[in-house]
Amino acid sequence: MPKDYSRSSRVTEQIRRELAELIRLEVKDPRVGFITLTDVEISADYAHAKVFFTSMKGREGLDEILIGLRRASGFLRRELGRRVRIHTTPELHFVYDESVERGSHLSALIDKALETSSVEEEAAPDPDLQNTGKKD
């Protein structure tokens, strides 16, 4: 049976899990408190990793969160090297992931459109109940 889960996919998933645990339990910087890691993309040579994250606060305080993550990146990279056995521990680049925020906004727009269309349907007269204009 062929493996659908490539080595790089396994490595990126392990890096994501380990970084999430390190940030949650080991990083003491309060600026980094309320984030969720959504994805990791790693270069072919494993030298660089883009770490995508979202914040519970949305864009509020994003600059401070990025500063905190950049300050902790050396610690995170060292600890990652101890936990994940790969030939090169990647340099970490943190990127804010707007997809969750955008998805929430689109979902709200869809809900609003559905609500508006249901109100319009209720206000429109039913053509089956209207008088056809014929006299009996």
| CATH code where residue 59 lies | 3.30.300.20
pTM reported for the whole predicted model? 0.74
In a domain, 17, yes or no: yes
Return the structure tokens found at 124: 């429109």
In a domain, 135, yes or no: no
In a domain, 131, yes or no: no
What is the layout of strands, in order, in the sheet containing 35-42? 35-42, 48-55, 91-96
Q: Give the residue with greater pLDDT, 33 vs 133.
A: 33
| Contact indicator for 16, 50 with CB cutoff of 8 Å | no
Main-chain phi, psi angles of 39, to 5 degrees: -165, 160
| Contact indicator for 53, 62 with CB cutoff of 8 Å | no
Bridge partners for 91 per DSSP = 48
Q: Give the residue with greater pLDDT, 49 vs 34.
A: 49
| Helix (H) or strand (E) segment spanning residue 91 | strand 91-96
Query: Can you tell me the distance from the alpha carbon of 7 to that of 131, in angstroms, rounded to the nearest whole number?
Result: 70
* Model pLDDT, residue 111: 86
Indicate if the pLDDT at residue 70 is higher than 80.
Answer: yes
Q: Which domain holds residue 52?
A: 7-122
- The average pLDDT across 103-129 equals 76
In a domain, 62, yes or no: yes
In a domain, 90, yes or no: yes
Indicate if the pLDDT at residue 99 is higher than 90.
Answer: no
* Model pLDDT, residue 1: 41
* Model pLDDT, residue 40: 96
Q: Could you give the number of structural domains in the chain?
A: 1
Indicate if the pLDDT at residue 132 is higher than 70.
Answer: no
In a domain, 134, yes or no: no
* Model pLDDT, residue 3: 56
Return the structure tokens found at 28: 């003491």
In a domain, 92, yes or no: yes
In a domain, 132, yes or no: no
